[in-house]
Amino acid sequence: MKIKEKSSKSNFKKNKRIVIACIMLILLIIIGIFAPLIAPTDPIEQDLSNILQTPNGKHLFGTDQFGRDIFSRIIYGIRISIVEICISIGFAFVIGVLLGLITGYYGGRIDLIIISFLDILAAFPGIILAILIIAVLGPSLINMLIAISIFSIPTFGRLARNSTISLKNKEFVIAAKAIGVNDRNIMFKHIFKNLFTPLLVQVSLTAGGVILTAASLSFLGLGAQPPTPEWGVMIGQGRNFIGIAPHLCLFPGLAISYIVLAFIFLGDGLRDYLDPNLKNKM
Amino acid sequence: MKTYILKRLILFPIILILASFIIFAVLRFIPGDPARLMAGLKASQEDVQMMRERIGLDKSFLSQYGLFIFNLIKGDLGVSIRSNKPVINEIGKCFLNTFILVLSSYIIAIVLGFVAGMLAAIFQNTWLDNLVIFFAMIGASTPNFWLALMGMSLFSVKFRILPLMGMGTWKHLVLPSISLAFYPTALIARMIRSSILEVIWKDYIKTARAKGLREIVVYFKHALRNALIPIVTLIGLNFGSLIGGAVVTESVFNWPGLGKLLVDSITYRDYPLIQGCFLVTITSVILMNFIVDLIIAKIDPQISFK
């Protein structure tokens, strides 16, 4: 017992990526929570006497075409990014895992229909499917999040289904069945517990992609709408000034890279730490 | 092997039909009356009714879909509301432009990704390896439209060596294709590096070395072969994300391709054009996945047993 503890501890030490990722993300969340205290100005209020200032002592990242402080807007943007991740992944996770558990556990015709549907959904390139859905619902932040979560469903659904299929004939499930545990408890208590590791890895790997897609869609004007301090929107609006004021685009882009990088570190690190065998499967 | 290919061959048209059905069905829910849009602002109630009959909106949903498929087979995708030209012509023009952009990004990504991944694996744990890992991380975490804009501000505005936007000479292609290639390059480099490092201690590599083969032959002929299947899969699956990325890149550079056409058609609610753009994009992605499946079946001996 002691030996095992020691080895896992040194394993964690070896895995610097998880630590770095956690520090990066916790820092971001703290700044996001205390945004009103940290941001020097309001993120939306315009100040037309101060437009397009380059970075200086008063405005750390400069000001935009309406005189708004870019630093403040980026800090408030953290909140939007976190909401984007929580809503779209949360929704996709719940639906995907439910579908995966049920189809994997029962098999048969339902399995065939649902998995074929997920396969077709997965054949659409993510951003194109999102644009298709936004074309119908109309461009807005919440519609974009619905679109992103719909195309993320197959990722979680297929993972949950494949793992459930390989788990459902293991001894612990058969034993649970033998002592009369009902199907629902087997699925949600026994099997789900074992799905948790691959799903956790998948959540962190998907989170970076969600941020990139959300930024792309908002940049195209299909997601969050101005004056929301969403990073993609900021770049989309700043692009018209790229010739005279590149800092309008520079800083929001760095913010996007920061958060995506943190999730890549977290996903890779967790995958190697929790289950080295997963590396070849995902 | 034969049954595998046969299965894929049967599945391919089924997926295509289902995808076309999804696109057709989903787009019916766009708010607003397409007949009124198509008839124009000044149209009277009778004109709208006539338009509705002409495009078949008065019929039932399934017969509308049947008509749509029937016209599709004839190569008729309807008429664009905005330009009043056949959708198929509009798309044809743009398709070629997108093809040029995606193909050149693909070439850049494959060549650069291979070279960088191989170098990182051969010189593992040196500064060169770290440099490749660093760039792969940047490539995977940076939005391509941001890279495009930064490239623009540096090379088009500051140094004035590349054109700002549009299409024409080869110089117009440089920034769009490089910014689009960043992400797949990073993925390919990482994949090649890790696939090679996985096998480099295996016995068959030792045997190859013991035979006295040159290092370069060991890496290219023996180690790389192991990496081939995941890499072909990765490159194939990336086609979809490249097409998706092209949508954004095209609109940054005003590149007259399919992606820009799609975004514009949504802005103008050009209903037949939206439908056509989606159909062509999705069909090409599904076709690409199909081709990749066939290639993998060809190079992976294990599939013939499945």
A135: nearest CB among B30, B150, B164: B30
Nearest CA in chain B to A220: B248
Tokens 């070629």 locate to B96
Q: What residues pair up with B61 in beta bridges, in sequence order?
A: none
Contact B146 A249 (CB under 8 A): yes
What percent of chain A is predicted at pLDDT more than 70? 92
Q: What integer is the mean pLDDT of B92-116?
A: 92
Q: Is cis: bond before A36, omega within 30 of 0?
A: no
Kindly report, residue by residue over B133-148, the tens digit of the pLDDT: 999 999 999 999 999 9
Look at A9-13, A158-162, A180-184, A205-209 and tell me which has the smallest mean pLDDT. A9-13
**Residue A157 or B233, more confident:** A157
Q: A23 Cβ partners below 8 Å, 6+ apart?
A: none
Report pLDDT for A11: 59
Partners of residue A124 in chain B, C-beta under 8 Å:
19, 240, 282, 285
**Residue B282 or A93, more confident:** A93
What is the b/e burial string over B48-85, where b = at least 16 CB atoms within 10 angstroms of the residue's CB? Answer: beebbeebebeeeeeebbeebeeebeeeebbbbbeeee
pTM for this predicted structure: 0.88
Report pLDDT for B52: 77
Partners of residue B262 in chain A, C-beta under 8 Å:
131
CA distance A253 to chain B (A): 6
Q: A225 Cβ partners below 8 Å, 6+ apart?
A: A139, A140, A141, A233
Residue A201 has pLDDT above 70, yes or no: yes
Which domains can be identified in chain B, with CATH numbers? 2-73 (no CATH), 87-299 (1.10.3720.10)
B6: number of Cβ within 10 Å:
10
- Model confidence at A5, pLDDT cuts 50, 70, 90, reads very low
Contact A220 B143 (CB under 8 A): no
CA distance A130 to A149: 9
Q: What residue spans define the domains of chain A?
A: 77-281
CA distance A225 to A235: 12
Report pLDDT for A2: 42
Q: What integer is the mean pLDDT of A192-215?
A: 90
Look at A56-65, A191-200, B164-173, B283-292 and tell me which has the smallest mean pLDDT. B164-173
What is the full DSSP assignment across chain B? -HHHHHHHHHHHHHHHHHHHHHHHHHHTTSSS-HHHHHH-TT--HHHHHHHHHHTTTTS-HHHHHHHHHHHHHTT---B-TTT-SBHHHHHHHHHHHHHHHHHHHHHHHHHHHHHHHHHHHHTTTSHHHHHHHHHHHHHHHS-HHHHHHHHIIIIIIIS--S-SS--SSTHHHHHHHHHHHHHHHHHHHHHHHHHHHHHTTSHHHHHHHHTT--HHHIIIIIIHHHHHHHHHHHHHHHHHHHHHHHHHHHHHHT--SHHHHHHHHHHTT-HHHHHHHHHHHHHHHHHHHHHHHHHHHHH-GGGGG-
**Chain centroid, CA A137 distance in Å:** 22
Q: How many inter-chain contacts (A to B, CB under 8 Å) are there?
A: 123
The CA angle B275-B280-B283, to the nearest 5 degrees, is 120
Look at A103-117, A128-142, A246-260 and tell me which has the smallest mean pLDDT. A103-117
Residue A4 has pLDDT above 50, yes or no: no
**Residue B11 or A32, more confident:** A32
What percent of chain A is predicted at pLDDT more than 90? 44
Task: Write down the H helix ranges in A107-123.
Answer: 108-123
Residues 238-257, chain A, touching B (beta carbon < 8 A): 238-239, 242-243, 246, 249-250, 252-253, 256-257
A220: nearest CB among B150, B248, B282: B248
Contact A162, A104 (CB under 8 A): yes
Residue B305 has pLDDT above 50, yes or no: no
Q: Assign domain A77-281 one CATH number from 2.40.50.140, 3.40.50.2300, 1.10.3720.10, 1.10.1040.10.
A: 1.10.3720.10
Kindly report, residue by residue over A66-114, the tens digit of the pLDDT: 889 999 999 999 999 999 999 999 999 999 999 999 998 888 888 888 8
Partners of residue B146 in chain A, C-beta under 8 Å:
235, 249, 252-253, 256-257
Look at A160-174, B44-58, B141-155 and tell me which has the smallest mean pLDDT. B44-58
B248: nearest CB among A135, A216, A260: A216
What percent of chain B is predicted at pLDDT more than 90? 22
Q: What integer is the mean pLDDT of B109-127?
A: 90
**Residue B160 or B145, more confident:** B145
Kindly report, residue by residue over A16-54, the tens digit of the pLDDT: 889 999 999 999 999 999 999 988 888 888 888 888 888
Q: What integer is the mean pLDDT of B31-56?
A: 75
Q: What integer is the mean pLDDT of B115-122?
A: 90
**Residue A148 or B82, more confident:** A148
In the 8-state DSSP scheme, what is residue A79? Answer: H
- Model confidence at A178, pLDDT cuts 50, 70, 90, reads confident
Mean pLDDT of the residues in chain A: 87
Contact B153 A249 (CB under 8 A): yes
Nearest CA in chain B to A117: B18
CA distance A207 to chain B (A): 11
Phi-psi domain of A33 (left: phi exceeds 0; alpha: psi -120 through 50; beta: other): alpha
Write out the two tokens for A72. 């403040």
